[in-house]
Amino acid sequence: MIPISDEGGRIKRFPIVTVVIIALNVAVFLYEEFGLSDRQLQQFVMQFGVVPLEITRGQDRPPLLPPGLPIEFTVLSSMFMHGGWFHIIGNMLYLWVFGDNIEDAISPLGFLIFYLVCGAAAALSHVLLDPLSTVPTIGASGAVAGVLGAYLLLHPGNRVNCLLILWIFIRVIQLPAFVVLGFWFVIQLFSGVGSIGAEEVGGVAYWAHVGGFVAGFVLMIPIALFTGIRERTSHRRGRFLESDDWR
């Protein structure tokens, strides 16, 4: 079940920050994919990915990291790196579908800060749950998960168009956002619990997803309360749903 678009009403401004974030992620990925040899790519990931053991013990980064940058810089740099085509396509698709609504609600600058804070919270969640790991973690998944958490809070009833693929059966279905995002969160949570104590061989950092999602949901609560975002978006959604056949 892959979200491909949402029907949450019109946004007031072009989502410039969302587009720029997507462009930066794509640019870095293309550099990884076509600009580096396998050995260089491995070194690049080790330098700029989040390695929990190095964070918890405060170890210095390899000498190729620009001088003066602390180890915590990797919490930021790792958000713009991906490990494969499916990894980046999935993350950027989710960000494109859900990010514009959040950027529209809290302003471009507010969205940028919110996105980076959620990404940092996700990375730290992974570090706290697996502090001795020596496997570098990369990807925008945690930051994007924060966007999903915020969307769930602000627009739980919005309809999301999802691509349903069951073997050769393919069709587009509409589901409420709370079903799509709630199902996604439950999968991440149970997968995270199942990964506890498992032998470390690399893979998906489920607790980063969980941490980012929770951070996004919780951070959006005071923002919505103090700015009245939820009231405005609810009214806007109501007008849209009343004209159900409008296209």
Write the pLDDT tens digit of every residue in 105-144: 999 999 999 999 999 999 999 999 888 888 999 999 999 9
For residues 15 and 99, is the Cβ–Cβ distance under 8 A?
yes
Residue 150 has pLDDT above 90, yes or no: yes
The stretch 202-228 carries a mean pLDDT of 88
Express each pLDDT in 217-237 by its tens digit.
999 999 988 877 655 555 444
Q: What is the CATH number of the domain that holds 24?
A: 1.20.1540.10
Output the pLDDT for position 9: 63
* Residue 50: φ, ψ to 5°: -85, 115
More confident residue, 78 or 1: 78
- Cα–Cα distances (Å) from 147 to 33, 78, 122, in that order, read 26, 17, 12
Residue 69 has pLDDT above 80, yes or no: no
Mean per-residue pLDDT of the chain: 85
6 beta partners: 160
The stretch 47-70 carries a mean pLDDT of 73
Q: How far apart are CA 112 and CA 173, in angstroms?
A: 31
Output the pLDDT for position 109: 96
pTM of the complete model: 0.87
Output the pLDDT for position 63: 47
Residue by residue, what is the 3-state secondary structure of 147-158?
Answer: HHHHHHHHCCCC
The stretch 187-214 carries a mean pLDDT of 79
- Cα–Cα distances (Å) from 246 to 11, 104, 173, in that order, read 16, 21, 18
Output the pLDDT for position 68: 61
Task: State how many domains the chain has.
Answer: 1
E strands, 127-218, where? 159-166, 169-176
Output the pLDDT for position 158: 93
More confident residue, 237 or 42: 42
Output the pLDDT for position 115: 98
Long-range contacts of 233-241 (CB under 8 A, 24+ apart): 233/8, 233/9, 233/101, 233/105, 233/154, 233/155, 236/9, 236/10, 237/8, 237/9, 237/155, 237/157, 237/158, 239/9, 240/7, 240/8, 240/9, 240/10
Tell how far CA 124 is from the center of its chain: 14
- Amino acid identity, position 195: S
The stretch 196-212 carries a mean pLDDT of 74
> Across 3-12, 160-169, 193-202, which has the greatest mean pLDDT?
160-169
Q: Is 247 part of a structural domain of the chain?
A: no
Q: Is 66 part of a structural domain of the chain?
A: yes
Residue 238 has pLDDT above 70, yes or no: no
Task: List the domain range (segments joined by +) for residue 72.
Answer: 2-197+204-242
The stretch 236-247 carries a mean pLDDT of 35
Query: What is the band of 1 on the pLDDT scale with cuts at 50, 70, 90?
Result: confident
